[in-house]
Amino acid sequence: MSIIGAEVIGTALLILLGDGVVAAVVLAKSKANASGWIVITFGWGMAVMVAVYAVGRFDGAHLNPAVTLGVWINGGITGAQAWKYFVGEMLGAMLGACLVVAAYWLQFKATEDKDGKLAVFCTAPAERNYLWNFITEVIGTFVLVFGVLTMLDAHNTLGPLAALIVGLLVFAIGLSLGGPTGYAINPARDLGPRIVHAILPIPDKRDSDWSYAWVPVLGPLVGGAIASGAFQLFFPIVHGVR
C-alpha cells in the first residue's frame, strides 16, 4: 500500500472514531449524550490505537503532520515522502469527518447547540487567548511527538504493543493537557474536519471559527519540531554516541 493510501485510511479511521466520540457526547438524541470528558479522551486514545494497528505495517502510521514533521527532522523520512504523508493525512481527515456526518446526521438535525456541532469537527479554547492557546498546543504536541519518537526508538522493544501505548499516550495528554484548548495536537485532525464543517450543509450550523484555526495548525507543528530537536539532543547521550 502506498504512503498516501495508508495515511488516508488510517487518518480517516482516526477521525471517524475520534470525532465520532465527540459527536456521541455532545449531540442531542445520542445515547452517549453528556457522558463527559473521560469518554471523549478515552475514545480519542482508542481511535489512535485502532488507526495505528490498521496501517502501521505499511507506512508507520503517522496520521498527524506534526508527527510527520518530527520524523522528517529526525531523518526518518525524506522530504518527498513527507509531502505524501501530509496529503494523505489531510484527505483522510476530511473523509473521516464526512463519515461522522453520515453516521450522526439525525443527531445533527436534532441539536440546537451550534457550538456543540462545531466541536464535533474541530477544537476551540475554553478561554480564548491566542498566545496561551498556542503555547498549550505546543506543549501538548511536544509530549506527543517526543513520546512517539522515544517509544519507537530502536532501543525500545514494544513490538505489537506500540499502537496501544501510543493510544494511551494520547489518552494521557487529553486528561492532563486537554482542558485549555481541547488538545488538537494534530493539524490535519483540526483543519480537515473544519473544512468539512464549512462546506457540508450541516443543519443550522454556525461559522467555522477561522480566526482560531491557525492555532491548532501552527502550534502542533512547532511542538513537533521542538520535540524532534529535543530527541536528537537527548537520545545520542543516552545511547552513548557522545
| pLDDT value for 45 | 98
Q: Does residue 117 contact residue 193 with C-beta atoms inside 8 Å?
A: no
Q: What is the CATH number of the domain that holds 128?
A: 1.20.1080.10
What is the domain extent for residue 33?
3-238
Give the phi and the psi of residue 221 in degrees, each rounded to 5. Answer: -65, -45
| pLDDT value for 61 | 92
How many folded domains does the chain comprise?
1
Query: What does the DSSP 8-state code read for residue 30?
Result: -
Residue positions counted in the chain: 242
Q: What confidence tens digit (pLDDT) does each residue in 186-211 have?
A: 999 999 999 999 999 999 999 999 99
Q: What confidence tens digit (pLDDT) does each residue in 119-155 have?
A: 999 999 999 999 999 999 999 999 999 999 988 765 6
Amino acid sitting at position 127: E
**Residue numbers of the chain with a pLDDT score lower than 70:** 153-158, 236-242
Give the phi and the psi of residue 2 in degrees, each rounded to 5. Answer: -70, 165
Residue keyed to cell 488538545: 183
| pLDDT value for 240 | 42
Distance (Å, whole) CA 56 – CA 226: 24
| pLDDT value for 161 | 86
Within 10 angstroms of residue 9's Cβ, the number of other Cβ atoms is: 22
In this structure, what C-alpha cell is assigned to residue 157?
522493544
